Amino acid sequence: MDFIKYLMMLFASLLFIAGCGSGESEEPAEESAETTEEAEDNAAEETAEDDAAEEESAETESESETDTETDAEGDASEDATEETNDSESEDSAETESEDTESDSEMDSGTESDTDSETGTETESDSSMEDDSSDNAASDDAEGDTAAGTSEQRNIDFAPIDETVTGADGTEMTTKFELNSGIGETLSSASESDASIEEVMMPKEDVTTYYAETFMVINLYAAGNTETPADNDMAGLTAEIDEREEMEVFSGQFDPATSTVVPYAYANSESLFVNEGGMWNDYTGQAPADQIYYGSYSNLYDAFMESSEVINVSEDDDNYYLHNIGTETVLHDTFGTLFNVEFTNADTSQQKNGVVGVVDKESQELVHIAYMSSAPGITEGEMLHIEIASGLGNYGEYDESGITVPEGIYE
């Protein structure tokens, strides 16, 4: 279903678009995408049909414009220069497809052919492993990205089925391999007397680090909670410097090739986006902190804002900051942080879960698992969004600085 593909494009490309999209960029993008398809159809018609058939083809193409408009808009958001802000997204949502496509909105999500929507607008944020030492990307992965080349990342997006239980007994199911083991680890941890302030490193003490976030959306049809009727995924990686003004060098995950390619660079004075292998200047159209929302400072603030409902557990190596349940504050903080939103779903039954893993010795936040699920408005349908975000290699770029793409200031 194209609506999920569109949502994931938003995840990967809307980090700066909300601030830098122009009000005139989307329409030309749609015309360009549609013109390409029409040209292909016309070429076929001209070789086999006479003038009368061409007139009939023109009518068919006119009808297909509506069917393909959502795809064109998805392509426009993926290009990361032609997607616009919320008002344009709402305009695009007025077009409905006749088959399996659906309405798409930047803020409110996109409606599937079963009348259910999920909306996500985030940047994109990171992979994590079961052990805290595995939450950062490998040295080879970082080196390849820093060199400005693509880097292979074999992420398993196949759904799993593991239970995560909250302090009050509320259960959720993690469906994402990158969050595998969280439930078992949390269940074996014991309640801690430590506060969040004592557990987490003050954000003022954070310097440089590596982070990445991966996200998967699953749509489950009635009667089948194991195999999604449709799903899609996206991800971003980032080298981040928070010492003074925010500075970010970001890579974008391409699910089609399982590679991470250079995506964006931003500091307090500049914003450059990699488009087709060229770094284009968008300076002044969005701040650096919109390039990667899942920064340590943002995550630290989210935990502090939701501290009244966050439980603290511990084992020998880590602290676990967690809540599994229906607390709306989780959605208001972490859901808003990652721009995860359901529409045309029964949000009265929405469940949200967050688990943060903090290294005891260093006080470094190394992993965030965020889960959100809700029944669709079609009976039996279920929507599930899950994020795995990892942070690591703290201090890695203190001396060298993060990657600055070659030639961007020339």
**pLDDT confidence tier of residue 156, bands split at 50, 70 and 90:** confident
Helices and strands, number each (H, E), in the chain: 10, 19
Long-range contact pairs involving 250-254 (C-beta distance under 8 Å, separation at least 24):
250/15, 250/123, 250/124, 250/291, 250/292, 251/145, 251/151, 252/12, 252/13, 252/124, 253/12, 253/124, 253/153, 253/155, 253/214, 254/150
Report phi then psi at 60, rounded to 5.
Answer: -60, -40
What pLDDT does residue 145 have? 42
Q: Which of 85-94, 218-227, 332-341 has the lowest mean pLDDT?
A: 85-94
Task: For the chain, give the mean pLDDT.
Answer: 73
User: How much is the pTM?
Assistant: 0.67
Q: Residue 37 corresponds to which tokens in the numbers above? A: 């398809």
Q: What is the DSSP string of 209-235?
A: EEEEEEEEEEEE-TT-SSS-SEEEEEE
What pLDDT does residue 410 have? 79
How confident is the model over 311-327, as a mean pLDDT? 96
Please report which helix (H) or strand (E) contains residue 352, including its range: strand 351-359
- Judged by DSSP in three states, 284 sits in coil
Q: Residue 12 corresponds to which tokens in the numbers above? A: 């990967």
Does residue 14 surpass a pLDDT of 70? no
- As a whole-number percent, the residues of the chain with pLDDT over 70 amount to 64
- As a whole-number percent, the residues of the chain with pLDDT over 90 amount to 45
Residues 6+ apart with CB under 8 A from 110: 3, 4, 6, 7, 70, 93, 102, 103, 104, 117, 118, 119
Distance CA 250, CA 258 (A): 16
Digit-coded pLDDT (tens) for 114-126: 333 433 333 333 3
Domains within the chain, CATH numbers bracketed: 2-113 (no CATH), 132-392 (2.50.20)
Digit-coded pLDDT (tens) for 260-288: 999 999 999 999 999 988 999 999 988 88
Does residue 290 surpass a pLDDT of 60? yes
**pLDDT confidence tier of residue 370, bands split at 50, 70 and 90:** very high
What pLDDT does residue 341 have? 79
Q: Residue 277 corresponds to which tokens in the numbers above? A: 């292998």
Distance CA 291, CA 18 (A): 11
How confident is the model over 87-112, as a mean pLDDT? 36
Q: How far is CA 172 from CA 116, 126, 223, 304, in A?
A: 20, 21, 18, 23
Q: Which of 15-19, 324-328, 368-372 has the lowest mean pLDDT?
A: 15-19
Q: Residue 227 corresponds to which tokens in the numbers above? A: 């195999």
**pLDDT confidence tier of residue 64, bands split at 50, 70 and 90:** very low
